[in-house]
Structure 1
Amino acid sequence: MTDDVDRIMAVMQAAFDPLYGEAWNRRQVEDAMVFGHTHYLLAGTDGEDSADDDAVGFSLSRYGFEEEELLLFAVHPDHRGKGIGARLLARFAETAKRRGARRLLLEMRRGNPAERLYRGFGFVQIGERPKYYRQGNGESIDALTFSCPLE
């Protein structure tokens, strides 16, 4: 797992803009992974499982009764626009469904460019938290919550 945390951290550090403060620190990732209801996937350059050092994407999620929440999701900027995110999102949904999830949840900041990917997959906005996130420059930004049914 330690090597996987290293790979997650490398992708996250490259993918998340520090202005928004969305990246977790190593301890937060490790602490989340201790729990049996937290799951992660790594993606190689083809979007499929990455069993070696070439991870270019990851997802981190938490399963609860019939729901799986996507906590973190990222593709390295050098590998965006190649369908990796779409394949990783599909893998995430499939593994969540196998665990018994009937719907997926996520929260993101307003203006997150990944919104197009999520909406294209079937996520719909179900809520908004005004001024929920504080940016590095001190300004606030809304959080948007989304849901996607699994059939």
Structure 2
Amino acid sequence: MNVTLREGDEGDIGALMDVMENAFDPLFGEAWNAGQCLGILSLPDVWLTFAEAGDRTVGFALSRLLVDEAELLLLAVEPDVRCHGVGRALIERAVAIAVSKGAHRLLLEVRDGNQALDLYQGSGFSEIGRRRDYYRGSDGTTRDALTLARPIGDRFG
């Protein structure tokens, strides 16, 4: 799939929310609302990257820098284009930007059982922790969050 990556900002909240609505099943309680996204985008050292195929936005990654570590806050890919390299491209862009900002490690949290675990593990992430009952779905069921890390930058290269 031919995908172009571009950086985004608060003005792209409509595109971000369109992908978010399609990519995250409300059953699991993982999606953010527009207010949460706008709030984090207003902070320093936060960046947003979009993946586009033609004139269609097919994914995004939202990340931030915390001292010498970066965190991948959200990664979303439209369901019909998953497994075509979009998620991996967004992760690698997040890594490149994080390294350029001085990060030595990229962290993320993901719901235990999420299909994206295969993508993350295949991209060099490994589990370093677990938060019990972190996600509460629309059905009231709680699910654990896994904390994953990937070493990046000079310290590990």
TM, length-normalised to structure 1: 0.91
1:60 touches 1:72 (CA, 8 Å); kept in 2? yes
Give distance in 2, aligned partners of 1:106 and 1:2.
Answer: 22
Deviation at 1:44, TM superposition (A): 1.2
2:135 touches 2:144 (CA, 8 Å); kept in 1? yes
The residue that corresponds to 1:39 in the other structure is 47
Give distance in 1, aligned partners of 2:84 and 2:142.
Answer: 32
User: For residue 147 of structure 1, what is the amino acid of its counterpart?
Assistant: A
Residue 132 of structure 1: which of 128, 131, 134 is its match?
134
Give distance in 1, aligned partners of 2:134 and 2:84.
Answer: 31
Residue 25 of structure 1: which of 23, 33, 37 is its match?
33
Residue 23 of structure 2: which of 1, 7, 15 is its match?
15
Cα shift readout 1:102-149 (whole Å, capped 9, x = no counterpart)? 000001110010000000111000001111221111111111101100
Q: Percent identity?
A: 46
User: For residue 60 of structure 1, what is the amino acid of its counterpart?
Assistant: L
Give distance in 2, aligned partners of 1:22 and 1:42.
Answer: 19
1:65-76 correspondence to structure 2 within 5 Å? 65-76=67-78
Cα shift readout 1:43-65 (whole Å, capped 9, x = no counterpart)? 1128xxxxxx5211100111111
Residue 64 of structure 1: which of 66, 73, 77 is its match?
66
User: For residue 105 of structure 1, what is the amino acid of its counterpart?
Assistant: L
The more displaced of 119-128 and 75-84 is 75-84
Give distance in 2, aligned partners of 1:123 and 1:39.
Answer: 20
Bigger fraction of residues in strand: 2
Instruction: Give the paired residue count.
Output: 145
DSSP 3-state at the match of 2:56: coil
CA RMSD of superposed structures (Å): 1.3
Which stretches in structure 2 are left out of the alignment for 5+ residues? Answer: 1-8
Give distance in 2, aligned partners of 1:126 and 1:35.
Answer: 26
Which stretches in structure 1 are left out of the alignment for 5+ residues? Answer: 47-52
1:45 touches 1:84 (CA, 8 Å); kept in 2? no
Deviation at 1:2, TM superposition (A): 4.4
The residue that corresponds to 2:6 in the other structure is none
TM, length-normalised to structure 2: 0.88
Give distance in 2, aligned partners of 1:131 and 1:26.
Answer: 24
DSSP 3-state at the match of 2:74: strand
Give distance in 1, aligned partners of 2:38 and 2:132.
Answer: 29
